[in-house]
C-alpha cells in the first residue's frame, strides 16, 4: 500500500480561511493586489503564447479577476483526487495548490484534466516570499521559533515537480512583487483577505503580549 502524504495543512482550516477570504473580497477596497498581479500575468502569457482555449477552468481566483476565453463554472472539488471534470484547453491555478498536502499528486490530477495540447498555468508563492514577516515572527518567538510561515517551492523544485507529474515542455520562472506596509496589522489583514493566512496543521501558538510587543518592535 502506498504511504499517505504527510498532513502539513489542515483541510478544515483551509476551508474556513477560504470562506473568510471570499467574504472579505466583497468589501470595498479589499486587498487584491497579488490576485490582480496574477490576473495580469495570465493575460500577458496567454497573449504571448497566442493560446485561444475553447474550454477553460480557473481555480483559486477568489476575487474573480481572471477573465479568459471559454470559462466554465464548476462546483468545488478535491484538487488532490482525480478530477470529476476533464478536457480543458486551459487550466489556471492561482494560489490554489500552495496548501496541497500531496502537491505531486495534485499536479498529476491537474494534468489529467487537460485536453490534448492543453495549457496549465500554475502560480504559487515562491521560496523567499514574505521575508520580512518571517524575520518578524522569528524575533517575536525568540529562542523557541514556531511554525508560522508556509513551506514554499523554489523555481528549480517547481520544474522537478512538473517533470515528475508528467507535463510536457514544463517551464518555471519567478515574478517579484514588492509591497510596503505602515503597520503589521495591515500586512496580516491583507494576507487574510487574499487567502494567505496560516493553514498549517501544526501551527504555532498565538502570540502572547510580550511576543506581540517584540513583533511590533521588529516591524
Task: Count how many residues are written for the chain.
Answer: 219
Query: What does each C-alpha distance from 57 to 84, 85, 192 come to in angstroms?
Result: 13, 10, 24
Q: Work out the average pLDDT over 74-79.
A: 94
Q: Is the pLDDT of residue 1 over 60?
A: no
Q: Round to whole Å and give the CA distance between 151 and 153.
A: 7
Strand partners, 126: 153
Q: Work out the average pLDDT over 16-36.
A: 95
Buried b (16+ CB within 10 A) or exposed e, 18-56: beebeebbeeeebbbebbebbbebbeeebeeeebebebb
pLDDT at residue 203, as a whole number = 85
Nearest of 112, 163, 123, 106 to residue 43 by alpha carbon: 123
Q: Is the pLDDT of residue 16 over 80?
A: yes
199 neighbors 9 (Cβ within 8 angstroms): yes
pLDDT tens profile 170-218: 999 999 999 999 999 999 999 999 999 999 999 889 999 999 999 999 9
112 SS3 class: helix
Q: Work out the average pLDDT over 42-60.
A: 96
For the chain, give the mean pLDDT. 95
**11-128+151-178 CATH fold:** Rossmann fold (3.40.50)
Q: Residue ranges per domain, the chain?
A: 11-128+151-178
Q: Is the pLDDT of residue 4 over 90?
A: no
Nearest of 185, 84, 204 to residue 145 by alpha carbon: 204
Amino acid at each position: 500500500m502506498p504511504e499517505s502524504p504527510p498532513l502539513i495543512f489542515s483541510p478544515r482550516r483551509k476551508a474556513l480561511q477560504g470562506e473568510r477570504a471570499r467574504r472579505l473580497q466583497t468589501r470595498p477596497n479589499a486587498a487584491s493586489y497579488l490576485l490582480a498581479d496574477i490576473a495580469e500575468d495570465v493575460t500577458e502569457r496567454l497573449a504571448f503564447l497566442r493560446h485561444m482555449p475553447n474550454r477553460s477552468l480557473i481555480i483559486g481566483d477568489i476575487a474573480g479577476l481572471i477573465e479568459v476565453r471559454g470559462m466554465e463554472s464548476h462546483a468545488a472539488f478535491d484538487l488532490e483526487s482525480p478530477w470529476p471534470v476533464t478536457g480543458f484547453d486551459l487550466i489556471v491555478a492561482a494560489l490554489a495548490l500552495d496548501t496541497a498536502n500531496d502537491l505531486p499528486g495534485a499536479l498529476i490530477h491537474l494534468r489529467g484534466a487537460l485536453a490534448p495540447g492543453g495549457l496549465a498555468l500554475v502560480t504559487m508563492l515562491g521560496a523567499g516570499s514574505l521575508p520580512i514577516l518571517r524575520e518578524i515572527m522569528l524575533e517575536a518567538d525568540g529562542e523557541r521559533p514556531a511554525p508560522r510561515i508556509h513551506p514554499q517551492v523554489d523555481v528549480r523544485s517547481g520544474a522537478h515537480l512538473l517533470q515528475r507529474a508528467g507535463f510536457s515542455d514544463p517551464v518555471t520562472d519567478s515574478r517579484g512583487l514588492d509591497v510596503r506596509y505602515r503597520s503589521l496589522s495591515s500586512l496580516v489583514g491583507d494576507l487574510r483577505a487574499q487567502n494567505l493566512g496560516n493553514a498549517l496543521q501544526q501551527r504555532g501558538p498565538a502570540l502572547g503580549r510580550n511576543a506581540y510587543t517584540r513583533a511590533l518592535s521588529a516591524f
